[in-house]
């Protein structure tokens, strides 16, 4: 039986300190891949012998100098790993980089072992995880449900116990929604905190590398290794280097007012969110209901406004020669950019500035927002019937975050009545990453055994 505790950084390091060879961990990873038997998780898997050789070449065990020593990691296939193809789930786009992305270089320098490249919604466009020409990764709890996207393969690799850490990307929720639908932590850092050099752009001004893990501690450990200003990335920005233990606890929380708690008829998600609020509110000194009208208006700008043209900018050259190789739903979404002009783009920027000013007053009242990670849990049949609607609903509480330059952390909460996972997302101002991690860890601890319902993920 799979135990998520066996795949934490602390457990692996305790084993290494006690004499467990790192080769045993590598072997266990590949045995787990075979046992899970999900061909949709990895697009490219490194041969076991190659990973074993990388493990043998590690310096002597020193978890202080090398915080991720011997830790297996998976990488979303829109992030470069030297020597492995980057496809962004589009075989015709495939290229083999000679250099890894900055974040991957930092992971490897910290002792991590890259296992392979994971599946995704093609060109990181989607929140459902099914827009791929490759087999679809199976949701860890119910294969009839969507895995969540776009970072589907990375989320499932962690959820199924293959690796303790995986990298995703998060422009509109792609590092949070899959976490919420698979009982994981999904850390979406402040914009620019992690370099995006070597990451295929989706929306260049909004892209973030994200981290999946089973615990907040593990997610933050990987984030802490990767963060820092990168002069090779024009959008890299300095960010606070503090740790969760070093920051003042968040004690003023904001939650959506009743009218803004949107679950689109999914009573199980609504009930799970209510149960999560019962756990998180005692951790704070005050909880304030917030009018989310302006936040929702910002969210609509991402796909209904001219920002869709930024996705087109990232794909324009490839679309000009390979349009037929692009997933039809992806092509339809990006093709909507043709409706917008340069004038529309500026008007969109003005509209965003006004909405951002309208939301600023919220941060005078609260230090963090607590929202549902995903308000619905679509089935594969739902997506087959309507490829757009369920995806749009999944972004209700995620799409506005990067446009408003906020940090976010998805954490697992009480399970739904039907045994499926649900979670909340903590959102705070830029630079609040450590404070959100401290609150997230406290919430998970307070949730206790309600987080550990029996499920197919444990098989």
**3-state SS, one letter per residue, for 193-213:** CCCCCCECCCCCCCCCEEEEE
pLDDT, tens digit, 9 for 90 and up, residues 185-226: 999 999 999 999 999 999 999 999 999 999 999 999 999 999
Which residue in 106, 117, 132, 150 is the catalytic one? 150
Residue 316 has pLDDT above 80, yes or no: yes
Residue 130 has pLDDT above 90, yes or no: yes
pLDDT, tens digit, 9 for 90 and up, residues 143-192: 999 999 999 999 999 999 999 999 999 999 999 999 999 999 999 999 99
* More confident position, 313 or 268: 268
> Above pLDDT 70, what percent of the chain?
97
Do 72 and 113 contact (CB within 8 A), yes or no? yes
Q: Please work out, in degrees rounded to the nearest 5, the angle formed at the alpha carbon of residue 396 by the alpha carbons of 313 and 118.
A: 60
Which residue in 100, 152, 154, 174 is the catalytic one? 174
Six-digit token string for 320: 């000009």
In the residue annotation, 190 being an active-site residue is answered as: no
Residue 459 has pLDDT above 60, yes or no: no
pLDDT, tens digit, 9 for 90 and up, residues 422-441: 999 999 999 999 999 999 99
Q: Please work out, in degrees rounded to the nearest 5, the angle formed at the alpha carbon of residue 285 by the alpha carbons of 214 and 258.
A: 80
- 337 three-class SS: helix
Six-digit token string for 176: 């949070």
pLDDT, tens digit, 9 for 90 and up, residues 245-269: 999 999 999 999 999 999 999 999 9
State how far the alpha carbon of 143 is from the alpha carbons of 118, 284, 420, in Å: 18, 37, 11
For range 105-113, the mean pLDDT: 98
pTM over 0.75: yes
Q: What is the pLDDT of residue 6?
A: 60
For range 379-386, the mean pLDDT: 96
Helix residue ranges per DSSP H, 57-165: 102-109, 152-159
The neighbouring-strand residues paired with 213 are 185
pLDDT, tens digit, 9 for 90 and up, residues 396-410: 999 999 999 999 999
Six-digit token string for 168: 């995703």
**Which band of pLDDT confidence, cut at 50, 70 and 90, is reported for residue 458?**
very low
Residue 272 has pLDDT above 70, yes or no: yes
Residue 311 has pLDDT above 50, yes or no: yes
Q: Rounded to an integer, what distance in angstroms lies between the CA atom of residue 190 and that of residue 356?
A: 16
Residue 119 has pLDDT above 80, yes or no: yes
In the residue annotation, 455 being an active-site residue is answered as: no
Q: Which residue has the tokens 């490897």?
A: 108
* More confident position, 335 or 348: 348
Residue 85 has pLDDT above 70, yes or no: yes
For range 317-337, the mean pLDDT: 89
In the residue annotation, 188 being an active-site residue is answered as: no
For range 374-400, the mean pLDDT: 97
For range 388-393, the mean pLDDT: 96
Alpha carbons within 13 A on the beta-carbon side of 213: 26
Residue 454 has pLDDT above 70, yes or no: no
**Which band of pLDDT confidence, cut at 50, 70 and 90, is reported for residue 312?**
confident
Cis peptide leading into residue 402 (ω within 30°)? no
Q: How many CB atoms lie within 10 A of CB 214?
A: 23
- According to DSSP, the β-strands at 72-76 and 113-118 are parallel
Q: Which H or E run contains 315?
A: helix 308-322
Q: What is the pLDDT of residue 441?
A: 97
Q: What is the pLDDT of residue 455?
A: 41
pLDDT, tens digit, 9 for 90 and up, residues 337-367: 888 999 999 999 999 999 999 999 999 999 9
Q: What is the pLDDT of residue 452?
A: 56
The neighbouring-strand residues paired with 86 are 95
Q: What is the pLDDT of residue 341?
A: 92
Which residue in 76, 106, 117, 188 is the catalytic one? 76
Q: What is the pLDDT of residue 422?
A: 96
pLDDT, tens digit, 9 for 90 and up, residues 36-82: 999 999 999 999 999 999 999 999 999 999 999 999 999 999 999 99
């Amino acid at each position: 039986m799979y135990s998520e505790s066996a795949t934490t950084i602390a457990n692996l390091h305790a084993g290494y300190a006690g004499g467990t060879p790192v080769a045993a961990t590598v072997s266990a990873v590949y045995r787990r891949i075979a046992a899970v038997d999900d061909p949709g998780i990895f697009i490219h898997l490194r041969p076991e012998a190659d990973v074993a050789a990388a493990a043998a070449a590690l310096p002597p065990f020193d978890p202080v100098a090398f915080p991720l020593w011997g830790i297996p990691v998976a990488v979303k296939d829109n992030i470069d790993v030297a020597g492995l193809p980057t496809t962004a789930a589009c075989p015709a786009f495939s290229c083999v980089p000679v250099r890894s992305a900055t974040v991957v270089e930092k992971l490897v320098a910290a002792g991590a072992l890259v296992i392979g490249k994971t599946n995704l919604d093609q060109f990181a466009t989607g929140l459902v995880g099914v827009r791929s020409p490759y087999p679809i990764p199976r949701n860890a709890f119910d294969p009839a449900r969507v895995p969540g996207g776009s970072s589907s393969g990375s989320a499932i690799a962690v959820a199924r116990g293959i690796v303790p850490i995986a990298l995703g990307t998060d422009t509109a929720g792609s590092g949070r929604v899959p976490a919420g639908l698979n009982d994981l932590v999904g850390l979406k850092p402040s914009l620019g905190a992690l370099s995006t050099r070597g990451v295929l752009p989706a929306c260049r001004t909004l892209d973030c590398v994200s981290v999946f893990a089973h615990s907040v501690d593990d997610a933050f450990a990987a984030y802490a290794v990767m963060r820092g200003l990168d002069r090779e990335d024009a959008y890299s920005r300095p960010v606070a280097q503090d740790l969760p233990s070093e920051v003042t606890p968040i004690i003023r929380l904001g939650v959506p007012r009743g009218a803004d708690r949107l679950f689109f008829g999914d009573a199980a998600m609504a009930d799970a969110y209510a149960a999560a609020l019962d756990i998180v509110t005692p951790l704070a000194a005050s909880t304030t209901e917030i009018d989310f009208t302006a936040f929702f208006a910002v969210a609509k700008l991402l796909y209904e406004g001219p920002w869709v043209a930024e996705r087109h900018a990232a794909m324009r050259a490839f679309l000009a020669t390979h349009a037929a190789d692009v997933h039809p739903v992806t092509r339809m979404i990006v093709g909507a950019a043709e409706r917008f002009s340069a004038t529309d783009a500026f008007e969109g920027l003005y509209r965003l500035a006004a909405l951002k000013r309208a939301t600023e007053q919220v941060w005078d009242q609260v230090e963090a927002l607590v929202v549902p990670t995903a308000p619905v849990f679509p089935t594969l049949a739902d997506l087959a019937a309507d490829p757009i609607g369920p995806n749009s609903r999944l972004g209700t509480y995620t799409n506005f975050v990067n446009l408003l330059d906020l940090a976010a952390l998805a954490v697992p909460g009480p399970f739904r009545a039907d045994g499926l996972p649900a979670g909340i997302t903590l959102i705070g101002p830029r630079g609040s990453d450590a404070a959100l991690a401290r609150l997230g860890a406290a919430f998970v601890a307070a949730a206790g055994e309600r987080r550990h319902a029996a499920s197919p993920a444990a098989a």
